[in-house]
A and B are shown apart, each in its own frame.
Chain A
Amino acid sequence: MIYNEKMECLAPGALKDLQSGRLRQTVKYLHEHSPFYRTLLNESGVSVPSVKSIDDISRLPFTVKDDMRQSYPFGIFSSKMSDIRELHVSSGTTGNPVVVGYSKEDLDFWAEVTARALCCAGAVPGDMIQIAYGYGLFTGGLGLHYGSTLLGLTVIPCSAGQTRRQVKLLQDFKPRILACTPSYSLHMAEIASEMGLDTRQNSLEIGIFGAEPWSDTMRRNIENCWDIRAIDIYGLSEIIGPGVACECHFKNGLHVPADVFYPEVIDPKTLKPVAPGCTGELVITTLTKTGMPLLRYRTRDLVSINYGKCDCGRTMPRISKVLGRTDDMIVVRGINIFPSQIEGVLLGIKGTQPHYQIVVEREKGLDKLTILVEMDQSLFSDKMKQLQAFEEKAAKEVGSVLSISVKVKLVEPKSIERSESKAKRIIDKRIL
């Protein structure tokens, strides 16, 4: 089923007209309402009337994550605070998190695009969905919740965690759809097996997985494990959350609702568009948002784009699965982590340049984060408890900044591998 056939199957010419009109509106709106963008547009020498067609987008300035961090908390919002209905928060690269404000219209569009994504994945009204993405500041849980409600699904709003209970509910309520991070679905399967259940004997038919990178190998594992169709969903809170793109049952690229979010794929060095099918950085412009519209937001995610019509009938462009990052961000249990955040905390504790390394491992489908910190003279003590206290304090502080539990382990100086005299910050041992 196609949720909004009129939009999702729009002829390319008509789509372009719609995008052009919405871009003109957005630029005009931003110039009027957002001091941040007014300055940015003026500095880039782009006048509002000169933006006529969606093709003019290439003349517009980019927006980066740091712009949000610097305008923390609400400086990049375009709506008055009294018109903002909801706030979400995701991790920033250092210090301040990224705050996203949603107007009433934004929430309505969010529900619409996630409803489209759910349909794209194979959901139909009347289905039951177990949502095991975190509810709260993280956009995963609520985003899918709003879409499910709009589409007419029965929602089990489990949020993440309490896995044994989730497995019991899954057994007893018999949902057709499970939505969570791909790694959590494997963790649930581990727990289900421990509980003596056969994971292939269950009511699930569709899994909607996202918020972290995963490979086709992992897809096959999950599909085998649960005997389901595993669908990749993509999103980022800066743009809206889940619903920015989603696969259909052909699993041949993720459809982007391009009437709402305009995608470009650029070379991260030259900033020029790359040819369809070639890998580049995904850049998104919001065409309908009012709370916090963004022009040409650089996602740092590497994808390729395909403008061809899909066998499912949708004409919307498709992006590939995320192939990597242009920065050093990693995703652990659906949470974005930047090494710089960890560095910031360690510097705060020690007051010296720390040599550290982040080790990510997956045990029973659950990601574990260990931070190795090189011992140095200023940190050393002959008292064991002082060293242990450092490990505990660092783990606690890093954990609270990242919103995930971590372990800190002291290691000998110079024991962390360095390449070209630069320490290798992340050792990801997971098989994604």
Chain B
Amino acid sequence: MKITQLSVFLQNQKGCLYDVIKILGEAGIDIKTLTLAESREFGVLRLIVDKPEEALKRLRAEEHVASLTEIVAVEVEDRPGGLAKVLKVFSDHGINIEYMYAVVEKNANKAIMVFRFDDMDKAIAALSENNIRVIRGKDIIHL
């Protein structure tokens, strides 16, 4: 039920993002989506890729600090109120979202959001209880 996300540390400096993306490109890693969180001093790049373990290996070999984290991808109805419906579940169950971002999906009328929670299992249980579809890792890769 969980999806593996790749996170990479980036210093706020020219060329850092390019360097990471270039390594992934040369390794033949397909990026499904990515988001960049930044502070004044540094950033954290979070990506969903087709081969996270391979990507991690390549980045670490090039002296980058990176890690794998489990996240949850949720199908959201692509209409007004769709996201609110999902968020209500978390709110009702007192589940905190650490961060979230969207997955680019081609040719579909559903949107996909990925979430990082403090308590992943509780979140998944709450979603199934409310009949909200949680997407499997291999499905997201084959989007």
Which chain A residues have a beta carbon within 8 Å of chain B's beta carbons?
A: 375-377, 379-384, 387-388, 391, 409-415
A377 to B67, CA, bound (A): 7
Q: Is B65 a contact partner of A380 (Cβ separation < 8 A)?
A: yes
CB pair A412–B64 under 8 Å, yes or no, is yes
Are B11 and A382 in touch, CB under 8 angstroms? Answer: no
| Chain B positions 86-100 with a Cβ under 8 Å from a chain A Cβ | 98-99
B 57-88 contacts with A by CB, 8 A: 60, 63-67, 69
Complex partner residue of A382 from B7, B13, B64, CB under 8 angstroms = B7
Chain A residues in 8 Å Cβ range of B44: 382-384, 387
Question: How far is it, in angstroms, between the C-alpha of A391 and the C-alpha of B42 when the chains are bound?
Answer: 11
Residues on the A chain within 8 Å of B98, using CB:
383
Question: Is B116 an interface position by the 8 A CB rule?
Answer: yes
A352 to chain B, nearest CB (A): 13
Interface residues of B (CB under 8 A from A): 5, 7, 9-11, 13, 16, 37, 39, 41-42, 44, 46, 60, 63-67, 69, 98-99, 116
CB pairs A–B below 8 angstroms (20 shown): A375-B65, A377-B67, A379-B65, A380-B7, A380-B65, A381-B67, A382-B7, A382-B44, A383-B99, A387-B9, A388-B39, A409-B41, A410-B11, A411-B11, A411-B42, A412-B9, A412-B11, A412-B16, A413-B65, A415-B11
CA of A380 to CA of B44, assembled, Å: 10
Q: Is the interface of B mostly helix, strand, loop or mixed?
A: strand
Chain A nearest Cβ from B100, distance in angstroms: 12
Interface of A is mostly: loop
Assembled-state Cα–Cα distance A410/B9 (Å): 9
Name the B residues within 8 Å of A384 (CB-CB): 37, 39, 44, 99
Answer whether A377 and B65 are a contact pair too, CB < 8 Å, given A384-B44, A387-B42, A410-B41: yes
Do the beta carbons of B99 and A410 come within 8 Å of each other? no
Task: Give which listed residue, A376, A391, A409, contacts B65 with CB less than 8 A.
Answer: A376
Min CB–CB distance A256 → chain B (angstroms): 46
CB-nearest residue of chain A to B39: A388
User: Chain B contacts of A379 at CB under 8 A?
Assistant: 65
Interface contact B42-A413, CB-CB below 8 Å: no
List residues of chain A with CB within 8 A of the CB of B13. 412
> Which of B41, B98, B116 has the most chain A CB within a 10 Å cutoff?
B41
- Select B67's contact among A380, A410, A411, beta carbons within 8 Å: A380
Please report the C-alpha to C-alpha distance between residue A391 and residue B116 in the assembled complex, in whole angstroms. Answer: 22
CA distance A380 to B63 in the complex (A): 13
Closest 5 CB pairs of A and B: A382-B7, A412-B11, A382-B69, A375-B65, A380-B65
Q: Which residues of B have CB within 8 Å of A412?
A: 9-11, 13, 16, 63-65
Contact status B46-A382, CB under 8 Å: yes
Asked whether, in the complex, the Cβ of B5 is within 8 Å of the Cβ of A414, the reply is no
Q: How far, in Å, is B106 (CB) from chain A's closest CB?
A: 26
Q: Are A391 and B41 in touch, CB under 8 angstroms?
A: yes
Expressed in whole angstroms, the Cα–Cα distance for A388 and B41 within the complex equals 9
B116 in complex: contacting residue of A382, A388, A414, A415, CB < 8 Å: A382
- Chain B residues closer than 8 Å to A380, beta-carbon distance: 7, 9, 65-67
Residues on A with C-beta less than 8 A from B10 are 412
Name the distance in Å between A321's Cβ and chain B's nearest Cβ: 37
A414→B44 CA distance, assembly (Å): 18
State in angstroms the CA–CA spacing of A413 and B62 once bound together: 10
Q: Which residue of B lies closest to A388 (CB)?
A: B39
Docked pose: A380 CA to B9 CA in angstroms: 7
Contact at B116–A383, with CB atoms within 8 Å? yes
